[in-house]
Amino acid sequence: MNITKEIKESVSNFSDDYVFTASDFDFAAQNKAAVVKALNRMVDSGKLMKLSKGKFYKPRQTQFGTLKPSAYQIAKDYLERDGKLIGYITGYSAYNALGLTTQISSYIQIGTNKYRRAVRRDKYTISFILQPNPITRKNIEVLRILDAIRFIREIPGTSPDEACLRLKEIIAELDDEQKKMLVKCTLQYTSYVRALCGAILENVNCDKNLLDIIRKSLNGITEYKLPLSASVLPTKQNWKIYEPTRK
């Protein structure tokens, strides 16, 4: 059995974006060291690149240089385990996909139900935010929207007003079931996220019963200081959202 030859044949069938480890090859456990050695030799020859210890990918050269794997591939072991969903990509990558920013970052943020410390992979920092809702394939889209609302003051390359305008467009396009899911999930977020979500939903003419669910979850006298103008979100005062006082 020529391990190196078999590995090269297997690697040739991997996509350029695919991040793999020695475990991706169907060899007996006693051959693991030989597999790792063969992969490292391919790194030395330039046929593979190493993302981090034990993680490899095929380099793809373009006019802009060597392309890195996608955020999903870089962090996929924190997203799924044994076929079970354990996290989802949010933060800068999600904001870019949602059209909230055009900036690309070396930070990958993952929503997860368990606290984790940030880790480094190559030039990337993978950080984690605690998600209080169960994570399912059906609710990931609305969780990303709620994360964007939560961090509306921190989205790079845009202002809170600009981000709010785009969020209004996104939420208006949700179907009735997605809006119900959005409301259900927002109840697990902090109160200013609930209030802002309610104001946006009201502004896009959401069903009154859904708005009432959010209203009942809020303290009726609490005010929320968010840098959003009335021209962008006319319904904000109905939810006691006011701009911070400028000194």
Element at 138 (helix H, strand E): none
Domains and CATH numbers, the chain: 3-60 (1.10.10), 71-242 (no CATH)
CB 143 within 8 A of CB 133: yes
Residue 163 to residue 149: CA distance in whole angstroms? 9
pLDDT tens by residue, 215-238: 999 998 999 999 999 999 999 999
Residue 14 to residue 8: CA distance in whole angstroms? 10
pLDDT tens by residue, 134-193: 999 999 999 999 999 999 999 999 999 999 999 999 999 999 999 999 999 999 999 999
CB 193 within 8 A of CB 183: no
pLDDT at 98: 95
pTM of the complete model: 0.87
User: Is the pLDDT at 108 greater than 80, yes or no?
Assistant: yes
pLDDT at 178: 97
